[in-house]
């Protein structure tokens, strides 16, 4: 199983929240780390289908999940818990479980 994001971009009211994000997450542990307000939560919400990116695609096992509604995706989303490591960085622990 693999979760893949290709060229995700999300712009709201002229503000860029995600710009050309691409990656592949395979089974195991994938960590998303970044400074405050860098788009971690926005990316996770887009992957879960809670917000729609302006461009790009999200696939699970090579199936484009963009057209699939959230209720039909069998997505589990555990919201974030922050662990402060330094003043400007946090680790966001968010779990998304996909089953198609």
Structure tokens, 54: 């302006």
**Full-model pTM:** 0.73
Distance CA(56)–CA(52), nearest Å, equals: 10
Q: What is the CATH number of the domain that holds 75?
A: 3.40.50.300
Domain with 28 in it: 3-97
Residue 39 is given by DSSP the state: S
Distance CA(15)–CA(32), nearest Å, equals: 22
Q: How many residues does the chain have?
A: 100
Total domains in the fold of the chain = 1
Along the 100 residues of the chain, how does pLDDT read in single tens digits?
A: 788 999 999 999 999 999 999 999 888 777 788 887 888 889 988 988 889 999 999 998 888 988 888 878 766 666 655 555 554 444 444 555 555 4
């Amino acid at each position: 199983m693999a979760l893949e994001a290709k060229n995700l971009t999300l712009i709201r009211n002229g503000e860029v929240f995600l710009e050309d994000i691409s990656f592949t997450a395979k089974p195991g542990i994938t960590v998303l780390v970044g400074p405050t307000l860098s788009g971690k939560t926005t990316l996770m919400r887009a992957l879960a289908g809670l917000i729609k990116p302006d461009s790009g695609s999200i696939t699970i096992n090579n199936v484009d999940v963009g057209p699939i509604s959230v209720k039909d995706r069998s997505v589990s989303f555990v919201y974030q818990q922050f662990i402060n490591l330094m003043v400007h960085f946090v680790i966001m622990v968010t779990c998304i479980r996909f089953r198609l």
